[in-house]
Amino acid sequence: MAKDQYVNKDLFSLILSHVSRFGWSVVDTRQVRHLKDQGFQCDEKVVKVQKTVCELKKTVRELKTVCVVVSVLASIGLAVMCVTGRASMV
């Protein structure tokens, strides 16, 4: 959310600087609309990045779970081999 606030603040300060230099009569509604669209596009990109980060966190969590399961199974297999005496044959 901090990024969204930064984008909106930056957009607002840009509009104000334009108005203070040229006055409201020169500010074209198309320019303001264009600046708002740019801010909206930035907000959309931030949301897309946030979704991607959430998906990556989920994938990393799943990979960690798989690694733990494989490690446990390998440990159990080695323990069984040691107990049955098959480890000395290998």
Query: Residue ranges per domain, the chain?
Result: 2-88
Neighbours of 27 (CB within 10 A): 14
d(CA 17, CA 33): 16
pLDDT greater at residue 51 or residue 34:
51
Confidence band, pLDDT 50/70/90 cuts, at residue 51: very high
How far lies 47's CA from each of 7, 27, 38, 39, in Å?
13, 30, 14, 13
Residue 86 has pLDDT above 50, yes or no: yes
Residue 49 has pLDDT above 80, yes or no: yes
Average pLDDT over residues 43-61: 93
Closest CA to 62 of 51, 70, 72: 70
Determine the pLDDT at residue 26: 57
Determine the pLDDT at residue 31: 75
